[in-house]
Structure 1
Amino acid sequence: MAELPIVVLPVGSDDVALDACLAALEAGTPPGTRLWLADDACAGPRGCAVIEHWMAHTRLRADYTRRQRTIGEVAHLDEVLTACGDADVAVLAPDAVPLPGWLERLAACLASDGSIASATPWSNAGETAGWPRIGEIAPMPRDPARLARAAARMPATHPELPAAVGHCVLLRGSARQRARGLDAESYGSWCAGLIDLSLRLAGLGWRNVLCESAFVARPVEGVPFEGDMDRLAVRWPDWHARVACFLMRDPLRATRAELADLFATVGPPEPQPDLFPVTVDDGPVAASPARP
């Protein structure tokens, strides 16, 4: 089986959100997954303590780096992505809460079509990739395990998005390198830098798509820095009109409804089978049902 992409988590100043994100990563990401906790001198003493304790117990292959002085959100993330070379990288927002299976399904989406440069999962605060409603911030999922099971049953059509969205995105390494990474000179916020990168990737013939089988929750949407949207509008004059048209046409309406139907009807997880079947002299018989 191919190695999963590298996960990059830019560490923020909110230690409560960091704790929740690390717990979700531990619960929903395969052991041995490569994770880079990248701290642009943002974490306070309690955040550093959360990281130290988690690093001592995690099953993930995690590394933590901290700069002595901050260089800014986009510049720091671009530095990290550059260090990853041509590897595929999944970038999480500092307050993201990935649901089980998120990374495997994003990786499968990217592997399914060589023209895909970025894959964005659903989110309750996902703008154009929002669920259950587009362009709105919904409450955190009330039953994340059930929602993850429902999303896993979605057909893989990978519809196009206007751009990747900042709660979580898997970036193809070769495409990212060809586009020369993030523009840290023009933008201060990750969400604006990601939009710009996505539009440059699209201009080079790549696709920015929704991965319908993955879900990453988030309590709020990302907020661009002052002036970022103006700079985007200057560089990409049709950007705001394209997003407005996407929101009005809502091409993902049927796809969201399908996920809602699956969430309403999906059953409980399959019980874990007994590890050792019961046998008698005349051959094996069915094992008794597993007990909780």
Structure 2
Amino acid sequence: MTVPAPPPDRLPDGFAVRLAPGTQCRDGGTTLLGGSPFRMLRLAPAAQALLAGDRLEVTDARTAALAARLLDTGVADPELPPAPFPEVTVVVPVRDRTDGLARLLAALRADPGTAGCPVVVVDDGSADPAAVAAVAAGARLLRHPVARGPAAARNAGLRVAGTELVAFVDSDCVPEPGWLEVLAGHLSDPRVALVAPRITALPAGASGWVARYESLSSALDMGTTPARVAPLTTVSYVPSAALLARRAALRGGFDETMPVAEDVDLVWRLAGAGWRVRLEPSARVAHDHRVEPAAWLRRRAFYGTGAALLAQRHGAAVAPVVISPWSAAAWALALTGTPVGVLAAGGVLGRASWQLAGRLAAPGDRPPVRLAAGLVLRGTAASGRTLARSVTRHHWPLAAAAALVSRRARWLVAGVAVADAVSGWRPLRQEIDLPTFAAGRRLEDLAYGAGLWLGALRARDPRALLPAAPPPVSPPRQPTR
């Protein structure tokens, strides 16, 4: 499936961007380090003069080009202008969940930003269509006699929408007031196709250990930091539980052949066509998480099966481990546990640092060896965390098989499992105890990994299990002159 190319329109005058948290200014402001994937941008003197401090406002074609470059590399985030209530059609796919539908529609009517918006409810083969129709009174109701899946339901609503903007909200969600106005601020950028809020746990949800774990570590919660969304970045996708979209960008809509991961596929198709996709966590939508243990684990396994479908469409973008060859070699040598192996790993990292320094050096300048070494060590540490996560999540069947035949592997797997649980728990230690978090983490990873392998076996395609190399660290570039 294809999506249309974004319009050639530049960012409008008055649009402003600000350097993202974590972006470093070096060399007196001539060099920017940051973004995802990590990049190094060297500003020409004219560009440096345009970027006053950490903020840039668009006033002409030059500032628009620089602001666009900063956005597309992830080193800057947009400042959201005040947005009036957007003209938007709200599309709600539902199947049998009448209580949730009633709760959602009541929340939409109570929010001044959505109270007057047209609402399209798409009944995707509910067992009791009359009950859905009764709850949906006042909204436009479409019905699929037989369930066709959430992608088909959303597409049905998209086709009848009469507004430029379309919001998709699942029937187990409750948006916070004002969420649409916040998201709509991003649409002042003509190349933004899709923007997503943060998905949080419904405050009045069920109690129990799964509920406590899910409220802090849900797969739907993409975090608290605004981000560019694209494959192989820190935020590689956003869930379709709640989205605001530009209808013109969604020509063709969601892939109806995908029972799962259709939201990831849409995001990646949009990014591939040149559109921008954003996560805006200051807008929040609460979600009624599954908290019954068996249902929760089945859902995690179901999510895992989607990786094989994504691999068929997007190849290495779905790789569970992204690691450079030199990082892989360094870790393989270090894990031998021998002095020779450790020394050889240091040699590999030293050579990688020297090569990177040569690529980063500006013409006529000395290679920035210290900077390159820091980047190599940072990348090696990140790849180590990725490998450790893979042991307990994506590739746990291989780790379990190794542990059965090797005492050394048993100790290594056990140590990784404990370290992973502790590192994930530490930022949340004021809100959840370690045993509960560790149990949730390990069970969730086992379920997801089982679904990942099951999906790959069904598809007879191993690409969802294979590692990939990261995009190269960008050499210095001058985004404008």
Q: TM-score, normalised by structure 1?
A: 0.62
The equivalent of 1:188 in structure 2 is 259
Q: Percent identity?
A: 30
Is 1:138 aligned to residue 215 of structure 2?
A: yes
Number of positions where the alignment pairs a residue of Structure 1 with one of Structure 2: 215
Q: TM-score, normalised by structure 2?
A: 0.39
Aligned with residue 91 of structure 1, among 168, 175, 182: 168
Tell me how far apart the structure 1 counterparts of residues 306 and 321 of structure 2 sit (CA, whole Å).
16
The equivalent of 2:307 in structure 1 is 229
Judging changes above 3 Å, is the alpha-carbon distance between structure 1 residues 239 and 13 closer, same or farther for their aligned structure 2 residues?
A: farther
Per the alignment, in what secondary structure is the counterpart of residue 236 of structure 1?
helix
CA drift at 1:121: 0.2
Is 1:20 aligned to residue 107 of structure 2?
A: no
Judging changes above 3 Å, is the alpha-carbon distance between structure 1 residues 173 and 24 closer, same or farther for their aligned structure 2 residues?
A: same
Gaps of 5+ in 1: 56-61, 127-135, 140-153, 250-255, 258-292
Tell me how far apart the structure 2 counterparts of residues 43 and 99 of structure 1 sit (CA, whole Å).
30
The answer to whether the 8 A contact 1:4-1:103 is kept is: no
Tell me how far apart the structure 2 counterparts of residues 6 and 239 of structure 1 sit (CA, whole Å).
32
Superposed counterparts of 1:35-114, under 5 Å = 35-42=119-126, 44=128, 45-52=130-137, 55=138, 62-84=139-161, 87-111=164-188, 113-114=189-190
The answer to whether the 8 A contact 2:123-2:141 is kept is: yes
Is 1:210 aligned to residue 294 of structure 2?
A: no
Judging changes above 3 Å, is the alpha-carbon distance between structure 1 residues 85 and 19 closer, same or farther for their aligned structure 2 residues?
A: closer
Per the alignment, in what secondary structure is the counterpart of residue 193 of structure 2?
strand
**Could you list the per-position Cα deviations for residues 189-211 of structure 1 after superposition, in whole angstroms to 9, with x for gaps in the alignment?**
3xx11111110100011122112
Superposed counterparts of 1:228-247, under 5 Å = 228-241=306-319
Per the alignment, in what secondary structure is the counterpart of residue 214 of structure 2?
coil
The answer to whether the 8 A contact 2:101-2:171 is kept is: yes
Tell me how far apart the structure 1 counterparts of residues 267 and 321 of structure 2 sit (CA, whole Å).
13
Aligned with residue 94 of structure 2, among 3, 11, 21: 11
Q: Highest CA radius of gyration, 1 or 2?
A: 2
The answer to whether the 8 A contact 1:14-1:43 is kept is: no
CA drift at 1:26: 1.8
CA drift at 1:73: 2.5
CA drift at 1:218: 0.2
Tell me how far apart the structure 2 counterparts of residues 193 and 243 of structure 1 sit (CA, whole Å).
21
Tell me how far apart the structure 2 counterparts of residues 176 and 18 of structure 1 sit (CA, whole Å).
25
The answer to whether the 8 A contact 2:124-2:143 is kept is: yes
The answer to whether the 8 A contact 2:90-2:166 is kept is: yes
Per the alignment, in what secondary structure is the counterpart of residue 315 of structure 2?
coil
Per the alignment, in what secondary structure is the counterpart of residue 237 of structure 1?
helix
CA drift at 1:118: 1.0
* Over 6 Å off, 4+ runs: 242-246
Query: Partner amino acid for 2:181?
Result: E
The equivalent of 2:195 in structure 1 is 119
Aligned with residue 249 of structure 2, among 171, 175, 182: 175
Tell me how far apart the structure 1 counterparts of residues 156 and 319 of structure 2 sit (CA, whole Å).
32
Per the alignment, in what secondary structure is the counterpart of residue 250 of structure 2?
helix
Judging changes above 3 Å, is the alpha-carbon distance between structure 1 residues 197 and 86 closer, same or farther for their aligned structure 2 residues?
A: farther
Query: Partner amino acid for 1:80?
Result: G
CA drift at 1:119: 0.4
